[in-house]
Amino acid sequence: MALIFTASADSHSYQRSSRFVEPLLHWLFPQMAQANIEIIHHLIRKCCHLAEYAILALLLWRALNQSKNLPPWSWPRVQGTMLLVCLYASTDEFHQSFVPTRTSLVSDVFIDTAGGAIGLLAFWIIFRLRKQQ
């Protein structure tokens, strides 16, 4: 959570990441139009949202599942994990509203929450596959 909080600061704003990502994309795809470069940069940033919140959901799941007496998979704990992910995503966007170079978007809360759900879904699939063996 602290890592996400620091990434919400100015140092990881769109303007700062574009200084690295866009030249790299221009180097990889020299003939690509600037508009397409910007779209890819935007998609990379949103995929990073998905990935960081998928990891957060897995870490929260692990923290909530320390008891050995509980079944290995519990839907109420999944809901609790998702609630925490959504609440933290909301507070992260609220924090960004105070950073001048960042924008606070409700759509980012949905993307972040979807990232958490994707992380838990991947974990559930792996759990089910291992259980079948």
The predicted-structure confidence for 105-122, as pLDDT tens digits, reads as follows 899 999 999 999 999 999
What mean pLDDT value characterizes the chain?
86
pLDDT in the model for residue 57: 96
Compare 8 and 11 and report the one with higher pLDDT.
8
User: Can you tell me the mean pLDDT for 74-100?
Assistant: 90
Whether residue 99 is predicted with pLDDT greater than 90 in this model: the reply is: no
Which amino acid type is present at position 96?
Q
pLDDT in the model for residue 131: 81
Give the burial class of 22: count Cβ atoms within 10 A of its Cβ; 0-12 exposed, 13-18 middle, 19 or more buried. Answer: middle
Domain residue limits at 86? 2-132
Evaluate the CA torsion angle 90, 63, 77, 57 in order and state its sign.
positive
Q: How many domains does the chain have?
A: 1
Whether residue 101 is predicted with pLDDT greater than 80 in this model: the reply is: no
Compare 130 and 71 and report the one with higher pLDDT.
130
Whether residue 13 is predicted with pLDDT greater than 90 in this model: the reply is: no
The predicted-structure confidence for 21-55, as pLDDT tens digits, reads as follows 888 888 999 999 989 988 998 898 889 889 999 99
pLDDT in the model for residue 22: 83
H or E element that contains 15: helix 14-28
Q: Which residues of 73-104 are buried (b: 16+ CB within 10 A; e: fewer)?
A: eeeebbeebbebbbebbbebbeebeeeeebeb
Question: pTM for the full model?
Answer: 0.82
Residue 25's contacts (CB-CB under 8 Å, 6 or more residues apart) are 32, 37, 40, 41
Which amino acid type is present at position 112?
D
CB 117 within 8 A of CB 82: yes
